[in-house]
Amino acid sequence: MFLDCSAPKTLEGLAWASCYLTSGKHIDFYWAFVVVLALLACTAPMALMFGYGGATAARSHSLPVRMFGKCYIAMVRGIPDIIFFLFFVIALDQAIEWTKHQIVCPDWTEPVRQGLEFKVCPAAKVPQAGTAPVVHQIYGFGLAVVTFSIVFGAFVANVLYGAMNAVPRAQLETAEAYGMTHRQVHRRILVPQMWTYALPGLSNLWLILIKATPLLFLLGVRDIVYFARELGGSKTQAYEYPHPDWRLWYFLGLMAFYLLMTWGSEKVLRRLSARLSKGQATAAGEALRKAGAVA
Amino acid sequence: MSCWDTVQAYAFRSLGYGEKLLPKTDFTICQQFTLIGSGLIWNVYFGLIALCTGFFLANALALAKASRNPWLRKPAEAFIFVFRGSPLFIQFFLAYQILILLPRAGINLFGLTIATSWLTKAWAGALIVLFLNTAAYSAEIFYGALRTIPKGDLEAADAYGMTGWKRFRRIEWPTMMRLGWPAYTNEAIFLFHATTLVFFSAFPAFQQRGDALYYANYFADKTFNPFVPYPIVAFYFILLTLVITGIMGLINARLNRHLPGNQRKRIRLRPQLVR
């Protein structure tokens, strides 16, 4: 069934509400939730990858690589993350445009930084001038994902570095005694076992990542905070759906969304932790074993 | 304009003293250092007051959560869940919306008019949010510490015939502080980091009196050059973090003064960025 929403000012009650909640802007608002979930889905694996790289680098045998890994891990301590968010979005954007500028217009003579302006040749603009707004949004979203991944990657690296050190040394020595190479030990013994030690830290980070998603708003992505402010603001009679300032209700909705996400994640993570503790030489694993023996 | 002139003009700009207009062109490193440092006053103000007041509420909440009485436990659990489970950013927005709903003229109570307009200002409104937020996070830390008090300590207290308030004051509370302190230090650091969100959420910066990140963002927007102002804020925050770690470390040493040196726990920094 489709409601006739052509003249919303004549509607009342439930019909008005259902028309109001399916207006074009509201559909965009619902899509913004998908954007948040997409950000989580893209960032989590990427941050895990960066973190894994950082942790492996910090354990490397070569000094420069090790220094790089340690610096990456230490980077985010002591400095508010939001500074990184604001910094990386501009820095990455300028780095991309500058690199493209060097490739596309090699005979451009003017300096890129002129006083207060950052000017690259028109061909090097990313995205190109005149592209559809969708492309701009996707580009902004991509920058946000990379920024989030870099910052969270450092936290993941910290957790994984600790977890790799927590795997009992005897296990690695046994593997070495069997004649495994360094790489084999890493791949077959260290990595499969580190997860149980890493999980508490990682689940904490996941919850923090969920709570960091509203910062997308600061990175210029049209996310749920943006739409909540837009839609909630008071609308005069000039609008199709005039209403007073409803931002409070929109933000309450967002709050409920986040509480639900945290609550759900906590449940899933608790199950996962039980699953990963199976057969491990930890207190949790021991408790599972005992419970199994009794049953 | 020499650097000293700049310092004189802008050192207390964030509080509304000195030069009215922010620099518009020809930005110098000195200006950026001075203004961002001036903004840091707000970060210290928010962090310090929220931490000092939040500490007491956190203690009360931790005890309530550990209580056997459901009328105390359930509200404390709900409070902690709501404030720890939702982003601080949203909490700021929500609080601002609630605070501006208060009648502008003030609330009339028994013939007395209570002014409410000051609550929508950042110095009060954002402080309330930070206070509640840090109370929730710290309460969870103290609750965890309360549950890990060694059983032997409590049995010893029983053996001495200590009960109720006396037992709490002499045995439980000091041990709880001692066990929870390293985690609480981290909470303090990240509370100070969280204060940078204040002027990026709903609270407006009245007459461009903002915090360190507000000014850094101002410079980055004007110069399109993030490579100067943001490292300056980062530098200030590293200094601030070192100061906090130092002070909290002193308190930690005091709390553990009865223990032999090799048994004392050192405070380790654990990252826990956004709330």
Tokens representing residue B269 in the block: 């920094």
**How many helices (H) and strands (E) are present in chain B, helices listed first?**
10, 2
Say which residues have a Cβ less than 8 Å from residue A60's Cβ, sequence separation at least 6: A66, A69
Write a three-state SS string for A197-218.
Answer: HHHHHHHHHHHHHHHHHHHHHH
Yes or no: say if A82 and B200 are a contact pair by the CB < 8 Å rule: yes
- Residue B43: per-residue pLDDT: 94
Q: Which residue has tokens 């600061």?
A: A218
Predicted local confidence at residue B192, as pLDDT = 92
On chain B, the residues whose CB falls within 8 A of the CB of A80 are: 193-194, 196, 213, 233, 237, 273
Structure tokens belonging to residue A84 = 């990184």
Choose the mutation target among A211, A215, A226, A254 for the interface with B, i.e. most B CBs under 10 Å. A211
Residues in chain B, overall count: 275
Domain ranges of chain A: 23-232+239-247
Tens-place pLDDT, residues B220-274: 888 888 888 999 999 999 899 889 989 998 999 898 888 876 666 566 655 544 4
Q: Which two tokens stand for residue A220?
A: 């210029």
Q: How far is B143 from chain A (nearest CA, A)?
A: 18
Asked if B237 lies within 8 A of A77 by C-beta distance, the reply is no
The list of chain A residues with pLDDT below 50 reads 1
Report yes or no: B253 at the A interface, CB cutoff 8 Å.
no
Instruction: Note whether B274 contacts A263, CB cutoff 8 Å.
Output: no
Q: Nearest to residue B198, comparing CAs of B186, B188, B212, B184?
A: B212
In degrees, rounded to 5, the angle at the alpha carbon of residue A282 between the alpha carbons of residues A276 and A286 is 90
Inspect the interface and report whether the beta carbons of B216 and A83 lie closer than 8 Å.
yes
**Type of residue found at A47:** A
Check B213 against A80: CB less than 8 A apart.
yes
- Left (φ > 0), alpha (ψ -120 to 50) or beta: where does A211 sit? alpha
Mutation to test the A interface, candidates B97, B100, B200, most A Cβ within 10 Å? B97
B40-263 CATH choice from 3.90.870.10, 1.10.3720.10, 2.60.40.10, 3.40.50.880:
1.10.3720.10
Q: So what's the pLDDT on residue B232?
A: 92
B100 CB burial (10 A radius; 0-12, 13-18, 19+): middle
What is the Cα–Cα distance from A52 to A162, expressed in whole angstroms? Answer: 12
Q: What is the pLDDT of residue B262?
A: 61
Rounded to the nearest angstrom, the minimum Cα separation between A225 and chain B is: 8
pLDDT digits 0-9 by tens, B29-86: 888 889 999 999 999 999 999 999 999 999 999 999 999 999 999 999 999 999 999 9
Q: Where are the beta strands (DSSP E) in B39-174?
A: 107-109, 112-114
| Interface check B135 vs A, CB under 8 A | no
- Main-chain phi, psi angles of A222, to 5 degrees: -80, 90
Chain A and chain B share a number of CB contacts under 8 A equal to: 124
Chain A CB within 8 Å of residue B275 CB: yes
pLDDT at position A61 is: 86
B chain contacts of residue A214, beta-carbon cutoff 8 Å: 87, 89-90
* The pLDDT value given to residue A221: 80
Decide if B114 touches A, using CB distance below 8 A. Answer: no
Which two three-digit tokens encode residue B208? 């461009």
Distance CA(A258)–CA(A252), nearest Å, equals: 10
Cα-Cα-Cα-Cα torsion A236, A240, A245, A251, nearest 10 degrees, comes to -150
Q: Each residue of B166-210: pLDDT tens digit?
A: 999 999 999 999 989 988 988 898 899 899 988 888 788 888 888
CA atoms within 13 A on the CB side of B102: 18
B204 touches chain A (CB under 8 A): no
Q: What is the pLDDT of residue A85?
A: 86
Which residue among B81, B97, B230 sits closest to A247, beta carbon to beta carbon?
Answer: B97
Q: How far apart are CA B248 and CA B254, in angstroms?
A: 10
Distance CA A184, CA A182 (A): 6
Architecture field, domain A23-232+239-247? Orthogonal Bundle (1.10)
Residue A108, CA distances (Å) to A92, A98, A233 in order: 21, 12, 47
**For residue B25, is pLDDT > 60?**
yes
The reply to whether B62 touches chain A by the CB within 8 Å rule is no
Closest partner residue to B89 (CB to CB) among A91, A154, A214 is: A214
pLDDT in tens, A231-255: 888 887 777 778 888 888 899 999 9
The CA–CA distances, whole Å, from A21 to A259, A286, B64 equal 22, 52, 41
Q: What is the pLDDT of residues B90-143, one digit of tens each?
A: 999 899 888 888 776 667 777 677 777 788 788 888 999 999 999 999 999 999
Eight-class DSSP state of A113: E
- Match 């002027």 to its residue by tokens: B199
The complex's ipTM works out to 0.83
